A and B are shown apart, each in its own frame.
Chain A
Amino acid sequence: MPEPILTIKNLTKKYGENVIFQNLDLTVNEGDTIVIIGPSGTGKSTLLRCINLLTRPDDGQIWLDNKEITARGTDEDKVRQHIGMVFQNFLLFNHLTALGNVKLGLDKVKKMSDKEATEKAMHELARVGLADRADHYPGQLSGGQQQRVGIARALAMDPRIMLFDEPTSALDPELIGEVLEVMRQLALEGMTMLVVTHEMGFAREVADRIVFMEKGYIVEQGSPNEMFNHPKFPRTREFLWKITELYGKKEKEAD
């Protein structure tokens, strides 16, 4: 029986009257890759931000390794060290080189010596295939390279789980592949991942489970085979058909 790393119960988030999601339940087991799909504006990004406490949920609980992180008095900074986050717009620190971006957390949060931090950061950059770009600033890197640095920056903290918030949707089509390849590799290495994406090829091939979210609810979840070939709800089929049509074309163009 695999251990759950992340457990979400009854999670609710509202902005004023506007309910983003309500009474949401989700479990992520160690080593799983879960892909969340759904129309935009259904609260997927907000869900990720709630999980690493960048946004406070209004109700419900989240457990990370059987410790409730939504409990009062939780050290948020500590929690975030164990949850890696990759952003849609990369959000690299503009004034630091690729190496500097990866090193900052090791330096200031993990308090490693400069030598240790450099070694570890170089190791993470090599992992995403960018060791030779270590001294480049974000403005000197392509979008795909920037996002891979973003992944390396999160990996450097040795997180228990990695959250990906539409990691390829700000990228030109020809740059998407290199980022997905890094993510695929991570999944193979057994990293636990929660990925919000529209890349159906990636979902089909890499996901252990696909979660379809709409209007703040989880409509349906299951293995890629179940979801793509035998969805229980017409909405799921409709969405998957549309999105495959739309993005499949783009993928073909990119080839």
Chain B
Amino acid sequence: MDFGQFISYIASGTVYTVGVTLVALPSGLLIGTILALLYVYGGKAAARVMNLYSTVFRGIPPLVLLFILYFAVTKGINLSAFWAGSLSLGIVSSAYQMEIVRGALLSVSGDQLMAARAIGLSRLQAIRYVVLPQAVRLAIPPWSNEAAIVIKDSSLVYALGVPEILRRAQLIGASSQRYLLAYLSAAVIYFLLVFGTTRLLAMLEKKLTIPSNP
């Protein structure tokens, strides 16, 4: 086997790595945003439940939570390792993303909400048109950090047998007995994915910055 084949075999796992990330990150964002809205605007009882969700889910290693959710889900429904793993990682990430969105919502001052109500917007409209657009901008830098974490955590589904980058590196490392090269190649690919993603989000942040005089 030549070097090109060796690398391309590992690189073809990128499809799965990116796939897992593209399922986990948005589903975590969706769940996290809904929970954050409930946390901030849903009253005391909701805030207490959300706080518990956040504390427990962020207190357990992602790998343990991944195993629990994976085995619980696959016990009930017939789901492939890819989907079960991705969705489980999404739930893990939702607790972290909830905190990111919550932090952003809270940093938009309450006065903005009041000013919006003062011109007759309903509470929901005020959140939708005044608070959220500002919160999104504030959330990009920490969210970029979370995106990098999810890309890296996608390597955990290796343990479920999904043929992503790390699993392929292991397989070809074993068959060729060249582990060092295999894992180093995997590291390079992960690095490029993480680096590219954070760069892209930094550009987005710059683009969305609200103009102001220094």
Q: Which residues of A contact B (CB under 8 A)?
A: 52, 54, 76-78, 80-81, 84-85, 87, 89, 91-95, 104-105, 108-109, 137-140, 153-154, 157
User: CB < 8 Å: which of A91, A108, A140 contacts B115?
Assistant: A91
List the one stretch of B13-21, B117-125, B191-199 in contact with chain A.
Answer: B117-125
Contact of B30 with A by CB under 8 A: no
A95→B133 contact, CB < 8 A = yes
Query: Which residues of the partner chain A approach B117 to less than 8 Å between Cβ atoms?
Result: 54, 76-77, 80
Considering the chains assembled together, what is the distance between the CA atoms of A78 and B119 in angstroms? Answer: 9
User: CB < 8 Å: which of B114, B121, B134, B211 contacts A77?
Assistant: B121
Q: Which residues of B contact A (CB under 8 A)?
A: 111-112, 114-122, 125, 129-130, 133-134, 137, 210-213
Query: Which residues of the partner chain B approach A95 to less than 8 Å between Cβ atoms?
Result: 130, 133-134, 137, 210
How near does chain B come to A204, taking the closest CB pair, in angstroms?
28
How near does chain B come to A150, taking the closest CB pair, in angstroms?
8
B212→A85 contact, CB < 8 A = no
Query: Which residues of the partner chain A approach B119 to less than 8 Å between Cβ atoms?
Result: 80-81, 84-85, 104-105, 109, 153-154, 157
In the complex, how many residue pairs between chain A and chain B have their CB atoms under 8 Å apart? 72
Interchain residue pairs with CB less than 8 A apart (23): A54-B117, A77-B120, A77-B121, A77-B122, A80-B119, A87-B115, A87-B118, A91-B112, A93-B115, A93-B130, A95-B130, A95-B210, A104-B116, A104-B119, A105-B119, A108-B121, A109-B119, A137-B210, A140-B211, A140-B213, A153-B119, A154-B119, A157-B120
B211→A80 contact, CB < 8 A = no
B115: nearest chain-A partner, CB-CB: A91
How near does chain A come to B55, taking the closest CB pair, in angstroms?
31
How near does chain B come to A191, taking the closest CB pair, in angstroms?
16
Query: Which residues of the partner chain B approach A81 to less than 8 Å between Cβ atoms?
Result: 119-120
Query: Which residues of the partner chain A approach B122 to less than 8 Å between Cβ atoms?
Result: 77
Query: Which residues of the partner chain B approach A54 to less than 8 Å between Cβ atoms?
Result: 114, 117-118
B212→A105 contact, CB < 8 A = no
User: CB < 8 Å: which of B120, B129, B134, B212 contacts A80?
Assistant: B120
Query: Which residues of the partner chain A approach B112 to less than 8 Å between Cβ atoms?
Result: 91, 93-94
B211→A104 contact, CB < 8 A = no
Q: Among the interface residues A84, A104, A108, A139, which one has the most CB atoms of the partner chain B within 10 A? A: A108
A-B contact sample (6 more), CB < 8 A, given A77-B117, A94-B210, A95-B210? A76-B117, A77-B120, A93-B115, A95-B134, A104-B121, A157-B119
Give 10 closest A-B pairs by Cβ, nearest first: A139-B212, A81-B120, A91-B115, A105-B119, A85-B118, A109-B120, A80-B120, A95-B133, A95-B134, A137-B211
How near does chain A come to B211, taking the closest CB pair, in angstroms?
5
B125→A108 contact, CB < 8 A = yes
Considering the chains assembled together, what is the distance between the CA atoms of A210 and B130 in angstroms? Answer: 36
A78→B133 contact, CB < 8 A = no
A108→B211 contact, CB < 8 A = no
A78-B115 contact given A95-B134, A137-B212, CB 8 Å threshold:
no
A94→B134 contact, CB < 8 A = yes
B111→A89 contact, CB < 8 A = yes
Query: Which residues of the partner chain B approach A157 to less than 8 Å between Cβ atoms?
Result: 119-120
Query: Which residues of the partner chain A approach B133 to less than 8 Å between Cβ atoms?
Result: 95
A141: nearest chain-B partner, CB-CB: B213
B210→A91 contact, CB < 8 A = no
Query: Which residues of the partner chain A approach B125 to less than 8 Å between Cβ atoms?
Result: 108-109
Considering the chains assembled together, what is the distance between the CA atoms of A104 and B130 in angstroms? Answer: 9
Considering the chains assembled together, what is the distance between the CA atoms of A139 and B119 in angstroms? Answer: 21
User: CB < 8 Å: which of B116, B120, B137 contacts A93?
Assistant: B116
User: CB < 8 Å: which of B129, B210, B212, B213 contacts A104?
Assistant: B129
